[in-house]
Amino acid sequence: MIVRFPLLATDLTSMGTLIWISIIIALLVGAALGYFAAITGRKGRAAAADRAGEIARRSLAERRFAEAEESYRKLFDSSIDGIYVTTPEGRLLNANPALSRMMGYDTPRELIEGVTDVANAIYLDPTVRAKYQERMARDGMVREFEYQVKQRDGTVLWLSDSATTVRDDAGNVIRYEGVVRDITNQKRAEDEVAEGRRRLQEVIDTVPAVINVKDMQMRYVLMNRYMASIFNIEPEDAIGHTTTDIMSRYGAQKTDENDRRLLDAGKELGFYEEEYIDSSGTMRQWLVNKLPLRGSDGKIKQIVTVALDIGERKRNEQEMRKAKDAAEAALQHLRETQNSLIEAEKLAALGRLVAGVAHEVNNPVGISLTVASSLERKVAVFAEEVARGELRRSSLNEFVETSRSAASQLVGNLNRAAELIQSFKQVAADRSYSDQRTFNLADLTDQVVMSLRPGIRKQNLTLNVECEPGLIMNSYPGPYGQVLTNLFLNSVAHAFPGGAAGEVNIKVRASGADQVEVLYSDDGCGMTPEIRRRAFDPFFTTRRDEGGTGLGLHIVYSIVTNRLGGQIHLESDPGKGTRVQMILPRNAPNEFAAS
């Protein structure tokens, strides 16, 4: 503060001067005192303001601490996880409601008062508490330390504990503070999964097939014991390894090409065959299928492989193939032999036919020869009489009559021989060529029967033929004649033992517009059910000791059902003869022409 004084215009006396000096000093002192008073008042007000601000800050801090403490208390009390504070010795200092409920107490106070030794009162296995303390001392904390505890009623729980140590200024551990989470359900689920996995392992271990599961890196996550035995490894030892890893142990190899094919295709491969060497050095053959396992997002997570050992089947197939080839070769040889025997049987039948016809032709030819010889002598005698001029009317008449009779006998017998020869010629031609042609069934049947009659007289048999006229066939006359011949020869050989007399009947008639019925029957001894059942079997005969081949009726069956395209039925009973019914189409199938 600056005080200014006005200048005096007049001189003052000493007294006056002193008075003015005194006034000036007083004014200066008063101004100084006022200045100092102002300064002093301002400092007091600042101090008071500082004191008020400190008080406010302390109040704010205390309020914030109280609010934080309240928030912590709310979190502490409302946490669904258990929160605890214990001494290193195991005395429970504090606990939240969740922990008290978890341990079966109504309030934290009951829990704190009820538990004086955590190791023995809480831990199912007190030695686990020692492991907990070792980790806390070593690391100053534990994270998700799992152990079992006992509830108030004895129920066992699984807890996951995460805690830290609290030390004093000297570094000594004064308490443990931690949070525990009830993982009992999780453990049960894990146990159920483990039990399910164990049961699955047991199940797949009983399956005699390769079963495995791989992850996306082609590493095994599951393998059954059957497959492990192929690799000479324990199933659990295969987990985490690839096929290349496992097979390289015994010097074999196998690619993951098919697994990659599945990943590229995004679907199962379907069954395919593959082979590889097992741990014993044996080449194994498999029928394999691979399927993808997908996650909830639809993406492939794992690869399942199922394989069946088809080595035995392959060996059986190879053996069966060899056996089939051998059987086909034997069958071919049998067919060739059978064809040879059938041809031999046909030739034998034709030979018997020739013998019969030759015998039949011999009679008219012999008679003709005798008549011709007699006529020749008569002509010579007649010529001599004419030469001598001794010819008489009686001699001329006798010669004419003899010549007429001889000529008549010659014409009759030679015609008979010609008919026999023509019939034989047609039958023989039909047997030899077996061409398909159009013919009258009644005429053909008569020709065949005519060739059979020479054997009838020697067997004391009667052969009756009844044919409906006008049955025109477009078929195979030779095979048809072979059928009748074989049936007749079979009757001669088997139906009338000891040359017994009998009767054979052949009836031919229409059966609808497109078929004919041929009935062949005899009144011989008949067949037993066993013989009747096997009558058409090749090489079956009851006269093998007498040279029978067993092909006669088999040839009949083959010709009727194959070449002629018909059906055949056999009826026979002991003592009641035999009846064979044949239903033949009037137009034989062309596809049998080359048979």
Kindly tell me the burial class for residue 448, based on how many C-beta atoms sit within 10 Å of its own C-beta (0-12, 13-18, 19 or more): buried
What CATH number has the domain spanning 189-309? 3.30.450.20
Evaluate if residue 490 carries a pLDDT over 50: yes
pLDDT of residue 425: 58
pLDDT of residue 174 exceeding 70: yes
Q: What is the pLDDT of residue 457?
A: 67
Q: What single string gives the DSSP state of each residue in 281-343?
A: S-EEEEEEEEEEEE-TTS-EEEEEEEEEE-HHHHHHHHHHHHHHHHHHHHHHHHHHHHHHHHH
Mean pLDDT over the full length of the chain: 82
Residues 194-206: what's their mean pLDDT?
83
* Range 80-87 average pLDDT: 94
* pLDDT, position 371: 76
Express each pLDDT in 245-302 by its tens digit: 999 989 888 888 999 999 999 999 889 999 989 999 999 999 999 999 999 899 999 9
* Per CATH, domain 434-595 is 3.30.565.10: yes
Report which of residues 559 and 404 the model is more confident about.
Answer: 559
Is the pLDDT confidence value at 179 over 60? Answer: yes
Average pLDDT over every residue of 542-568? 80
Q: How much is the average pLDDT of 406-420?
A: 74
Q: Which of 564, 586, 324, 299 is nearest to 470 (CA)?
A: 586
Confidence at 11, pLDDT banded by 50, 70, 90: very low
Checking if the pLDDT of 81 tops 60, the result is yes
Is the backbone of residue 512 left (phi > 0), alpha (psi -120 to 50) or beta? left
Q: Which helix (H) or strand (E) holds 368?
A: helix 311-388
Q: Give the mean pLDDT of 419-447.
A: 70
Residue with tokens 């035999």: 578
Q: Do the domains spanning 79-182 and 434-595 agree at the CATH topology level?
A: no
pLDDT for 208 = 87
| Residue scoring higher pLDDT (56 or 572) | 572
The pLDDT score that the predictor gives to residue 3 is 39
Q: pLDDT class for 544, splitting at 50, 70, 90?
A: low
Of all residues in the chain, the percent with pLDDT exceeding 70 is: 78
- Looking at the predicted structure, is the pLDDT value of residue 32 above 70? no
**Mean of the pLDDT values across residues 529-558?**
78
Min mean pLDDT across 34-38, 355-359, 385-389, 567-571 is at: 34-38
For the chain, the farthest-separated pair of C-alpha atoms sits apart, in whole angstroms, at: 255
pLDDT tens digit string along 310-362?
A: 988 888 888 888 988 888 888 888 777 766 666 665 556 556 556 656 656 67
Q: Which two tokens stand for residue 466?
A: 């009844």
CATH 3.40.50.970: does it fit domain 79-182?
Answer: no
Residue bearing the bigger pLDDT, 546 or 86: 86
C-alpha span between 247 and 245 (Å, rounded) = 6
Looking at residue 348, its pLDDT comes to: 60
Give the model's confidence band at 7: pLDDT under 50 very low, under 70 low, under 90 confident, else very high.
very low
Given pLDDT bands bounded at 50, 70 and 90, which one contains residue 537?
Answer: confident
**What is the average pLDDT across 182-196?**
89
What's the pLDDT band for 55 if we cut at 50, 70, 90?
confident
Average pLDDT over residues 20-34: 50
Best CA proximity match to 201, nearest among 189, 191, 213: 213
pLDDT at 172: 92
Delimit the domains of the chain by residue range.
79-182, 189-309, 321-426, 434-595
Contacts of 261 (CB under 8 A, 6+ apart): 269
The closest of 149, 145, 169 to 157, measured between CA atoms, is 149
Q: Tell me what the mean pLDDT of segment 178-205 comes to.
A: 88
571 φ, ψ to 5°?
-125, 130
Q: How far apart are CA 223 and CA 225, in angstroms?
A: 7
Q: Residue 333's CB: how many other CB atoms inside 10 A? A: 10
- Residues 504-523: tens digit of each pLDDT: 999 999 999 999 999 999 99
**pLDDT band at 423; cut points 50, 70, 90:** low
Q: Tell me the pLDDT band of 28, cut-offs 50, 70 and 90.
A: low
Task: Pick the more confident residue, 164 or 396.
Answer: 164
**Which range scores top for mean pLDDT: 50-59, 121-130, 412-421, 476-485?**
121-130
Does the pLDDT value for residue 21 go beyond 60? Answer: no
Q: Is 148 helix (H, G, I), strand (E, B) or coil?
A: strand
pLDDT at residue 422 is higher than 80: no
| pLDDT tens, residue by residue, 93-149 | 999 999 999 999 999 999 999 998 999 999 999 999 999 999 999 999 999 999 999
Q: Given pLDDT bands bounded at 50, 70 and 90, which one contains residue 382?
A: confident
Q: Which residue has the higher pLDDT, 539 or 88?
A: 88
Q: Is it the case that residue 428 has pLDDT exceeding 60? A: no
Q: How confident is the model at residue 40 (pLDDT cuts 50, 70, 90)?
A: low
> What is the C-alpha separation between 410 and 421, in angstroms, rounded?
16
Helix/strand/coil for 593 = coil
End-to-end CA distance of the chain: 154
Q: What is the pTM of this model?
A: 0.39
Whole-number pLDDT of residue 459: 75
Q: Is the pLDDT of residue 424 over 90?
A: no
* 76 against 160, higher pLDDT: 160
